[in-house]
Amino acid sequence: MKLLETVRGKHTSPETIATAMTFGKALKKIPVLVGNCPAFVANRMLNCRSNESLFLLEEGCLPEEIDNVLEDFGFIYGPFKVFDMIGGDTSRRIREEMGLVGKNVSKTVPVRYRNGHRFSAITDVLFERGLLGQKTGQGFYKYEKPGAYETMINPEIETLIKEYSREHGIERRRIPYQEILERCVYSLINEGFRVLEDGIATRMEDIDTIWIYGYGWPRHLGGPMYYARKMVGLPRLYERICYYQSKHPDIMHWQPSDLLRKMAAEEASKPSSNL
């Protein structure tokens, strides 16, 4: 991986930042300076896509449907192939650290909600059944043997997901291609604008660099922030995010970014060109 997120602290000196950035280049990496927060920049944005992918599973999709849409968009791997590569045990430790699962989580809180927001426990069901991904030969996909990369459809997962939806009273439906794409991509872009609001990244170009060199964003689409501005258009993006918020008010990442709202309004107010 070429990316190196270089994290500055509140009191980090300019000399230390310069030294760290120079050292990153000496390692033949592409260093990008970011602020300090849980998950930093890319993983913070990626978490939105990951969570939205799980909600799509609950509502009617299967893993391969979502992965196919994202790979058709240009990603090398869809979110569930990535999950299997990372491993269900690693993902479980992350959720435990975030206080989403584990002994300190109240048993009186419905499994669909954590900290007042919608939450999917599908990955915990896989973890409890030992379906950890490539390392065990089964996860969201099946593998010829533990450690193999070639994926095969896992019939057990379809049954597991449908049982989960039924158990939690979620009515499954056919979800169209465009909705899958928008919910996965627009959710992470909205979080990118929040990252800028919070000062964790200082430039949109930095976010685009992070995603291209670290997370496989398709280069011909220029990075998520470039894609939002130049290919979707901020007024259209903001409109769709507001739409999904109205449909899913209990999902935190659909709360529109104030920065996006402001920039979308500014773009909408500009006179259109006849050229």
Residues near 212 by beta carbon (within 8 Å), at least 6 away in sequence: 219, 223
Task: Name the amino acid, one letter, at 271.
Answer: P
Pick the CATH number of 35-41+177-267 from 1.10.1040.10, 3.40.50.300, 3.40.50.2000, 2.60.60.20: 1.10.1040.10
Q: Which two tokens stand for residue 252?
A: 């935190």
Distance set, CA 239 to CA 97, 152, 178, 180 (Å): 34, 37, 15, 16
pLDDT of the residue at 61: 98
pLDDT of the residue at 111: 57
pLDDT of the residue at 117: 83
pLDDT of the residue at 37: 94
Distance set, CA 31 to CA 25, 165, 180, 227 (Å): 7, 42, 32, 22
pLDDT of the residue at 96: 86
Q: Where are the domains of the chain?
A: 35-41+177-267, 76-167
Which portions of the chain are predicted below pLDDT 50? 104-110, 274-275
| Equal fold, 35-41+177-267 vs 76-167 | yes
Contact 75, 217 (CB under 8 A): yes
CA triplet 77, 247, 204: central angle to 5 degrees? Answer: 50
Please classify residue 248 by burial: count the beta carbons closer than 10 Å to its beta carbon, then call 0-12 exposed, 13-18 middle and 19+ buried. Answer: middle
pLDDT of the residue at 105: 47
The beta-strand segments (E) located in 111-180 are 113-114, 117-118, 141-143, 151-153
Q: What is the pTM of this model?
A: 0.93
The beta-strand segments (E) located in the chain are 3-7, 30-34, 113-114, 117-118, 141-143, 151-153
Overall fold of domain 76-167: N-(1-d-carboxylethyl)-l-norvaline Dehydrogenase; domain 2 (1.10.1040)
pLDDT of the residue at 264: 98
pLDDT of the residue at 58: 97
